[in-house]
Amino acid sequence: MKPMLDVVDLCKSFPVRNVFGRMAGEVKAVDHVSFSIERGEVYGLAGESGSGKSTIARTIMGLTRPDSGDIFLDGENIIGTGGTREHGRKVQMVFQNPGSSLNPRRTVGQSIGVPLEAHGHPRSDRRRRISELLEMVQLPADFAQRFPHELSGGQKQRVAIARALAVAPKLVVLDEPTSALDVSVQAKVIDLLVDLGRQLDLTFLFISHDLSLMRNFAKKVGILYLGEIVETGDTAAVFDNPRHDYTRLLLASVPVISAEEEAMRPKIELIDGEIPTAEKLLALRKAQGG
Ligand SMILES: Nc1ncnc2c1ncn2[C@@H]1O[C@H](COP(=O)(O)OP(=O)(O)OP(=O)(O)O)[C@@H](O)[C@H]1O
Ligand SMILES: [Mg+2]
């Protein structure tokens, strides 16, 4: 069977301007990236800030047009279809900050109703569908009348998830869905996503800095470094036995909570006792002839 998502040789560069606004070069935000996600699977993308994670998400959502490459969703090439109904029915996204992705002047019910209306869901059935979606994300039906400022961060993110699921997409792109939330709430939101994935047979692209959440949620993972996937495979295998220097560095930077985790942590020497930036690491590898 074809994978749900197949990203093939995707490239996207952005111009870099100097202080006078003149072109001073370009940054390869996404550099020949390929990966695929099987139906019903969770694929994680990890990598430090600026490694290209959101740019990949935005190209899949049709918010950014890639310079080259193809994106097949359920077998169809979706390049150039962003913003169409057809595209929206297949893929939806949950953003990092539910506070800014929900309109403060709309009630929860109105926010969830927007995609229903856009996709021609019958008006007479909208209220029922909104209650059903709220139930799916474990919020009481009367939350439909509330405004975002009356909700906690975790509750807002549940609403954003309900809104993303309103038109029953096949793929859900999660770009740091829990990083704006309290640590105590993060695991609950991930648990909810795991349940929903199973119930609704969803496929997820999960972008996160948090490697312990990644380990619990994503079956496969791709490690992004300077716009390139340097390592990919089953999450447990990649994390237990990282092959690329950068993956080791990324894992070594994870805050450790227990002695058990400390024992699992790869032992490596850090340059200057800190986590080197991508540039520093590149320079070091060059110096070492690597
Ligand atoms: N619209 C844009 N214009 C210019 N440069 C951009 C634009 N969007 C992204 N970039 C650059 O592309 C690179 C990748 O950015 P991207 O946002 O994809 O990284 P990220 O991995 O999502 O980082 P973070 O973890 O901080 O969210 C960065 O160097 C960034 O500055
Ligand atoms: Mg990002």
Q: Report if residue 130 sits inside a domain.
A: no
**Residue 6: strand, helix, or coil:** strand
Return the pLDDT at 220.
97
Q: Report if residue 52 sits inside a domain.
A: yes
Q: What is the pLDDT of residues 117-168, one digit of tens each?
A: 999 999 999 999 999 999 999 999 999 999 999 999 999 999 999 999 999 9
72-91 in b/e burial notation, b at 16+ Cβ within 10 A?
bbbeeebbebbeeeebbebb
Six-digit token pair at 46? 């990890």
Distant-in-sequence, close-in-space partners of 27: CB < 8 Å, separation ≥ 6: 13, 14, 16, 227
Q: Is the CB of 52 under 6 A from ligand 1?
A: yes
Percent of the chain with pLDDT strictly greater than 70: 87
Residues 167, 35: Cα–Cα separation, whole Å: 25
- Type and span of the H or E element at 57: helix 53-60
283 pLDDT tier (thresholds 50, 70, 90): low
Residues 55, 212: Cα–Cα separation, whole Å: 23
Q: Is the CB of 46 under 6 A from ligand 1?
A: no
Q: Report if residue 226 sits inside a domain.
A: yes
Q: Report if residue 218 sits inside a domain.
A: yes
Range of the domain at 22: 5-100+168-287
Q: Report if residue 132 sits inside a domain.
A: no
Q: Report if residue 159 sits inside a domain.
A: no
Q: Is the CB of 4 under 6 A from ligand 1?
A: no
Number of independent structural domains in the chain: 1
Return the pLDDT at 235.
96
Six-digit token pair at 156? 């807002």
Q: In degrees, to the nearest 5, what angle opens at C-alpha 89 toward C-alphas 76 and 60?
A: 55
CATH number at residue 210: 3.40.50.300
Q: Report if residue 43 sits inside a domain.
A: yes
Neighbours of ion ligand 2 (CB under 5 A): 53-54
Where does residue 35 fall: left (phi above 0), alpha (psi -120 to 50 degrees), or beta otherwise? beta
Q: What is the pLDDT of residues 31-59, one digit of tens each?
A: 999 999 999 999 999 998 899 999 999 99
Say whether pTM exceeds 0.85.
yes
Q: Report if residue 244 sits inside a domain.
A: yes
Whether 107 has a pLDDT exceeding 90, the answer reads yes
Q: What is the pLDDT of residues 60-101, one digit of tens each?
A: 999 999 999 999 999 999 999 988 999 999 999 999 888 888
Whether 290 has a pLDDT exceeding 50, the answer reads no
